[in-house]
Amino acid sequence: MAAAAEPGARGWLGGGSPRPGSPTSSPELGAGSRSRSGPGSGPGSGPERSGSRPPGPAAPSHSFRKVTLTKPTFCHLCSDFIWGLAGILCDVCNFMSHEKCLKHVKTPCTSVAPSLVRVPVAHCFGPRGLYKRRFCSVCRKGLEAPGLRCEVCELHVHPDCVPFACSDCRQCHQDGHRDHDAHLHHWREGTLPSGARCELCRKTCGSSDVPAGVRCEWCGIQAHSVCSAALAPECTFGRLRTLVLPPACVRLLSRNFSKMHCFRIPESAAPEPGEWGGGEGADGSVPAGPGREVGTPESGKQTLKIFDGSDAMQRNHFRAVTVPRLARSQEVLEAALRAYYISEDPQGFQLQALPTPVQLGDTAAAGRVWSTGPAEEEGGRAAPEAWVLRALPRTQEILKIYPAWLKVGVAYVSIRVTPQSTARSVVLEVLPLLGRQAEGAEGFQLVEVLMGSRQVQRTVLADEEPLLDRLREIRQTSLRQMSQTRFYVAESRVPAPRVSLFVGGLPPGLSPQEYRRLLDEAVTSKAALVTVSHVYSAQGAVVLDVACFAEAERLYMLIRDTAVRGRPLTALVLPEVLHTKLAPDCRPLLVFVNPRSGGLKGRDLLCSFRKLLNPHQVFELTNGGPLPGFHVFSRVPCFRVLVCGGDGTVGWVLAALEDLRHHLACPEPAVAILPLGTGNDLGRVLRWGAGYSGEDPFSVLLSVDEADAVLVDRWTILLDAHESACGEDSEADAEPPKIVQMSNYCGIGIDAELSLDFHQAREEEPGKFTSRFHNKGVYVRVGLQKISHSRSLHRALRLQVEQQEVELPSIEGLIFINIPSWGSGADLWGSDSDSRFEKPRMDDGLLEVVGVTGVVHMGQVQSGLRSGIRIAQGSYFRVTLLKATPVQVDGEPWVQAPGHLIISAAGPKVHMLRKAKQKPRKAGPAKDARADGAPAPEGDPK
């Protein structure tokens, strides 16, 4: 027998127009609804409970009661102080409210949050950290101790709240399903600063004292939770809409891969023994251990270990509840249900004693039901007891069936499940209610979806699967798992599996057949399922198309642990950008971040840009280099690039762009810089500053959007080293690449020697080089050590400019400069006019050649007291090294063997972005509205 379907609400990204006011169609409860499933405070903790249920209608499934306040408290709805001693508190989710605000509360309780998630998407939890002024999205309490955050959305949780967090992360790509009609706001609660203002009423909607107000994770607009329901549900991506890669334009079949793999995020470190929140289970729970032993309860109370099923017993995962020693069985049962956020009728559950080794043979003792308080140990001290929360047998159930991606006008239908109900009979019963009976039941299947916070697991049920037995089995395994399980009617036809695997670290210069043979030797693949779709021979990388999810997962795991010819391989799962769906004015930003630059700032910026943009457009350079990013964007007709790193990182990306230009639909993307290095000379010239110092990443993106495109020369340096014999020349390092690219400058002699010493010091102790100030101090120390050295460089090399020999003065360093900044902003050429030379420009096709006489001269140049010795200006140079000499190009040093060094103009000039002089337009959310997008101040490692 079928219950009435709920009209007007949208299905799982299906069609239909939401009905205003419907619980499942409200923007507050729709796609991306705030995560609210989690442990509430157990009895005896938090504000003192007293009194009875408050008058008036209760908000969705909250368990409100009046309490006596014992400390300053703020309302979670209006964020105002609660004057007096009485407040209204939900026993499950700790939602605190004025009594006058109670009638306006629309925020659902954590106990019903899983049922309100529109599209289940798992989270990506990074390593633990201190997140000041942040609140747990599960229990609504502050994160005073180390907590976890999702690397893709603004979810913050306590480690022990992770198993109860909703799988309501941002949906950043299509996963092989039909298109959705519109992109809706993804609301998240409780991370707004105190100065945030509501988009609707323009009043303050944030608070630093309680979780209050909501913000869309895509467009950044913020509002009161009540006001958000009155805003248009569609999201336009806000001020950054031209930079964001829309989720509808990205396709990634990720059935066997977690979001960590899909977004190229390193797995978080394993938790310490006995800690919550980082276990191996799909739900993120971990077993109890020494760090979680049940403490001694208050006098007159007892602490009990509660398990929610057989799986929790095997893993020793429990939750502790504190109840009075003389508590009735009903009180204990309700406390246990609250601990696991089960909002069903307590009459359908019971507590059974946990079997102990002594009781394993005593069935009666092991299965006894709670009736009185636990026995006391010798000595009169109450022993903590362990109990299992079980569901009583049921002869029938009312089950919600969701229409998955079917475009129908209901959120779900409710049907009665009896012992005779099977998966096939349920499909036959549901299709008429969805108006799809004419299509035939054979084209549909029943899918069970477990919405874990870390992973969403889908299982297709066999046609003859008894559904009531299946529900009983789930409850026996875990009652919490039952509350996070849904059933969908979905079309049987599924998209053909196709996974793109990027494989890097292979030997360069081979043919496609040779790469295929190498991979077959290293990780035997099934030829019928794996094809080589792209070959990047110069970079030693290929892209594999795998037509089987299991084979793709196997190859991914094997490649990550494989080395070919002594080099470890890199494996990445890459999405497909549907470039034909991009809006005409969309110029998505391809972001490269070097986390090794700028101390910890690079790592923080990675997280910030993943949240402000689509994570699929943010790439970590230490994980495969620039090539995977350019491959993903290869068919995008117009895009821009943001490089976060030092001058060496910028040169790395520009060199990769030069090599891959003929593979790109947009062969000349403009490149912006967020300087994270020590010198950052190119960033200075292009007005991006001397170095990143914690600016709001949202403002950085606005500046990129409004930056001006300029041209910059690129230069090719050919290194033609002669074979060194012995003696002094044997000091030369291994040969560098035969050809290198240059954008800033090339130094020979003392300048490169200082860079080389600094580079070697950083390689030996990389942990000490985490601040720009320390790095410059090391440069000074290295320079002082060489202040009296004299190498007579002018006698060790010969210089030809435009085929003419140039006589060198007595110098210790020869520097070729392309931009008017050297050595952290110094003007090496000088501003004085000189009739012998043209005024330097970075796009004139000419290089300036300058000499320095030693370390003292270099220090005077950097202090602005002197300029370098002007030697020449031209477009073609030939340097003959008579002995092994230090050389550096854009900050990358080495010792070059004797031979020739030829510098000439490269191919086309590169298009760079220069920051506009005026401030970005103040449109969209205010700067402080994206507080979670920026590294937090005051030492917060956010």
Measuring CA to CA, how many Å separate 65 from each of 89, 91, 869? Answer: 6, 7, 81
What are the residues whose beta carbons fall under 8 Å from the beta carbon of 315, sequence distance 6 or more?
279, 281, 285, 287
pLDDT at 191: 75
pLDDT at 371: 54
The encoded tokens of residue 904 equal 């000439």
The encoded tokens of residue 725 equal 């014999």
Q: Which amino acid is at 596?
A: R
The DSSP secondary structure of 150-184, one letter per residue, reads BSSS--EE-GGGGGGS-SB----SB-SSPPPS-PB
| CATH fold match for the domains 577-706 and 716-723+736-908 | no
Asked whether 299 and 322 are in contact (CB, 8 A), the reply is no
Continuous segment of H or E residues that includes residue 350: strand 349-353
The encoded tokens of residue 736 equal 């560098």
CA–CA dist 713, 851 (Å, integer): 21
The encoded tokens of residue 361 equal 């043979």
Domain 716-723+736-908, CATH? 2.60.200.40
Residues facing 904 on adjacent strands:
716, 876
3-class secondary structure for 627-643? HHHHHHCCCCCCCEEEE
pLDDT at 272: 36
3-class secondary structure for 549-572? HHHHHHHHHHHHCCEECCEECEEE
Residue among 592, 700, 609 at smallest CA distance from 656: 592
Asked whether 444 and 431 are in contact (CB, 8 A), the reply is yes
CA–CA dist 341, 308 (Å, integer): 11
Asked whether 95 and 62 are in contact (CB, 8 A), the reply is yes
pLDDT at 85: 84
Tell me the per-residue pLDDT of 136-190, one tens digit each, with 9 for 90 and over.
Answer: 888 888 888 889 989 898 899 998 888 888 888 998 988 765 555 578 899 988 7
Indicate the DSSP class of residue 461: P
The encoded tokens of residue 156 equal 């913050």
Residue 932 exposed, middle or buried by CB count within 10 Å (0-12, 13-18, 19+): buried
3-class secondary structure for 698-737? HHHHHHHHCCEEEEECCEEEEEEECCCCCHHHHHCCCCCC
Backbone φ and ψ of 719, nearest 5°: -105, 110
Backbone φ and ψ of 7, nearest 5°: -80, 155
Measuring CA to CA, how many Å separate 863 from each of 787, 821, 866, 890? Answer: 16, 13, 8, 21
CA–CA dist 244, 239 (Å, integer): 10
pLDDT at 363: 47
Low-confidence ranges of the chain (pLDDT < 50): 1-58, 269-293, 358-365, 372-383, 724-732, 923-942
pLDDT at 47: 42
* CATH architecture under which domain 397-464+487-491 falls: Roll (3.10)
Backbone φ and ψ of 103, nearest 5°: -70, -15
Indicate the DSSP class of residue 661: G
CATH C-level class of 499-574: alpha beta
What are the residues whose beta carbons fall under 8 Å from the beta carbon of 658, sequence distance 6 or more?
714, 741, 906, 907, 910
Backbone φ and ψ of 402, nearest 5°: -95, 150
CA–CA dist 538, 225 (Å, integer): 54
Between 1.10.3470, 3.40.50, 2.60.120, 3.30.70, what CATH number should domain 577-706 receive? 3.40.50
The DSSP secondary structure of 192-237, one letter per residue, reads --TT-B-TTT-SB---SSS---EEETTT--EE-HHHHTTS-SB---
Tell me the per-residue pLDDT of 535-575, one tens digit each, with 9 for 90 and over.
Answer: 999 999 999 999 888 888 889 999 988 888 888 999 999 99
CA–CA dist 862, 853 (Å, integer): 14
Strand pairing report for 456-460 and 444-451? antiparallel
Residue among 926, 698, 699 at smallest CA distance from 202: 926
Each domain of the chain, given as residue ranges in start order, spans 64-104, 397-464+487-491, 499-574, 577-706, 716-723+736-908
Residue among 166, 165, 158, 168 at smallest CA distance from 135: 158
What are the residues whose beta carbons fall under 8 Å from the beta carbon of 450, sequence distance 6 or more?
282, 456, 457, 458, 459, 481, 484, 485
* CATH architecture under which domain 64-104 falls: 2-Layer Sandwich (3.30)
Write down the pTM of the prediction.
Answer: 0.83
Asked whether 692 and 598 are in contact (CB, 8 A), the reply is yes
Asked whether 902 and 720 are in contact (CB, 8 A), the reply is yes
